[in-house]
Structure 1
């Protein structure tokens, strides 16, 4: 390490890093001070101290707040990683010293949340009765940025197209299958081997454009030379989807795992059923996604390995090291 770099490393303190990150997150000195429970004059003095130490401006002040300079952006990114690692080190120490499992923070799209995270928790509970899973269910473009920010241990989803795959450790799972849910009394509910063309006159409930399930359906219709049917409701909410098909003749595509939860023998609902299609529609693989530079806590590692075991005994992992967004 060069002398100037070593001098900066010796003099930078954790409060400096926390302030740099707070400025990146808020864009205002006053808001950053509030986030750190500091008075604004104290935050301004610390910012000036940082800039003297670095020999460069950390941010550029404007009429609407501050923008981080190139130096400030580099410092904030390093600060994010360092503070995340310190937080995770604290979790590790607490879990190990307490002699018990703690909490794993997991993000998942709907299907693996149902058929992987819940079974993994059930499997771990017998040996680790105090273990907990904090599970966020959402779209991949919501979850993966939270993984990068250190708010989630790992995600079961897909890397968004605008993100660099090199930032992640990715283990793709075999593709999901689409199931089409309707109310039990739907005109097509008792039909068998339905062609896709027989569904275009009904209204549909779809996920937003660009989501993997929506793209799978768009591709299937297009590959048969069919226009996309009329979409009456766009939502990522499973409850909203169920409410719509329960009250109408709408059709809703979902991952087959979500459909089985409701319509399989002994399922949770007799009010909905799945259509019998004459073809198989697949969604590109989701994956187990962790940060490439991140050490999982003991509890997160337990969950990760248990979910891997469940995948291997089910569909299995894809041999390729990449995953479709």
Structure 2
């Protein structure tokens, strides 16, 4: 280690938690007043903290930008480390609480819809049998939102599709996700002796906008099959609104097969999958964690239960995208 790095290392050790938190808040807000309010301190106090850091390190961490400010490259780099330190301290507190009480703590898991129903839900049900004090917070949303929350420390891990070059996250590929075509019970297509692709194109399809993964995957597969694009007079990414549409109209909705399977066998459910296979699927999802982090004991238990569940589920269910 050269002398300049050794000197910076010594100076960094003098920073307090308030210094680190201020950098994180400035990175998020770009405004000293907002950062101070979030920390519960006055703006002059926040200004002094920032000046202390820069004086101790001998490096400019911010620069003025109009009425606000922005972090310099050095400030942004330190803010990234500061965020990780804060997350690790919070996780350490959860580890200590579990060790001190001997009870399972809180696990915060995120997932896209299919894996949430097919993997997270059964794994949680099984785990709560052996760890009745375990509490869980489950977030079901898009991969982009899940990865953002994971980087911010609001999730322990996620079942999602991260970007291909996200250095802040580690991803363990799990499986592809097949897609079914769903209609209401009593749909005219269900009385046909054999459903042909051309028959499908006679009905509206309900999907999200063109930027959603499901819509992109469906359109790409239809193009591969040289089929025309279906009519979409209504687009929505809302699961509940999609269910309302397919139960009240003759439209067709592509849905993740695990979502549909979670309702299979219940005659009161007003929708069913069409008995037709176009090979529709979305890209494989992964088990995603923060790079270099260690999950809390409760998160580790849930990860193990999910991975065990993966090995029990027939891979034929997930093979559509592979």
TM-score (normalised: structure 2): 0.92
Q: Residues 18-57 of structure 1 correspond to what in structure 2 (within 5 A)?
A: 18-57=21-60
Matched residue, 1:90 = 93
Q: Distance in 1 between matches of 2:211 and 2:304?
A: 30
Distance 1:55 1:254, change over 3 A: same
Q: Distance in 2 between matches of 1:212 and 1:193?
A: 29
Residue 64 of structure 1: CA displacement? 3.4
Q: Distance in 2 between matches of 1:302 and 1:268?
A: 35
Residue 285 of structure 1: CA displacement? 1.3
Single out whichever of 183-192 and 84-93 deviates more from structure 2.
183-192
Distance 1:192 1:140, change over 3 A: farther
Distance 1:228 1:160, change over 3 A: farther
1:99 aligned to which of 94, 99, 102: 102
Does structure 1 retain, via aligned residues, the 8 Å contact 2:189–2:199?
Answer: no
Single out whichever of 214-223 and 36-45 deviates more from structure 2.
214-223
Single out whichever of 87-96 and 211-220 deviates more from structure 2.
211-220
Aligned length: 315
Residue deviations 1:206-230 (CA, integer Å, cap 9, x gap): 1332433222211221012223112
Does structure 2 retain, via aligned residues, the 8 Å contact 1:174–1:315?
Answer: no
Distance 1:267 1:297, change over 3 A: farther
Matched residue, 2:300 = 301
Distance 1:175 1:315, change over 3 A: farther
Matched residue, 2:112 = 109
Matched residue, 2:62 = 59
Q: Distance in 2 between matches of 1:268 and 1:311?
A: 28
1:129 equivalent to 2:132? Answer: yes
Q: Distance in 2 between matches of 1:48 and 1:268?
A: 65
Unaligned 5+ residue runs, structure 2? Answer: none
2:152 aligned to which of 108, 132, 149: 149
Q: Distance in 2 between matches of 1:42 and 1:210?
A: 44
Matched residue, 1:320 = none
Q: Distance in 2 between matches of 1:300 and 1:99?
A: 15
2:121 aligned to which of 118, 128, 137: 118
Matched residue, 2:10 = 7
Single out whichever of 226-235 and 303-312 deviates more from structure 2.
226-235
Residue 169 of structure 1: CA displacement? 2.8
Distance 1:292 1:268, change over 3 A: farther
Residue deviations 1:69-127 (CA, integer Å, cap 9, x gap): 11110110010111110000001001111111011111100011001111011111111
Unaligned 5+ residue runs, structure 1? Answer: 318-322
Q: Distance in 2 between matches of 1:63 and 1:279?
A: 55
Distance 1:119 1:242, change over 3 A: same
Matched residue, 2:265 = 265
Q: Distance in 2 between matches of 1:57 and 1:80?
A: 19
Matched residue, 1:275 = 274
Q: Distance in 1 between matches of 2:63 and 2:258?
A: 50
Matched residue, 2:185 = 184
Give 3-state SS (helix, strand or coil) of 1:228's partner: coil
Structural RMSD (CA): 2.0
Matched residue, 1:222 = 223
Does structure 1 retain, via aligned residues, the 8 Å contact 2:178–2:281?
Answer: yes
Single out whichever of 31-40 and 241-250 deviates more from structure 2.
241-250
Distance 1:278 1:36, change over 3 A: closer
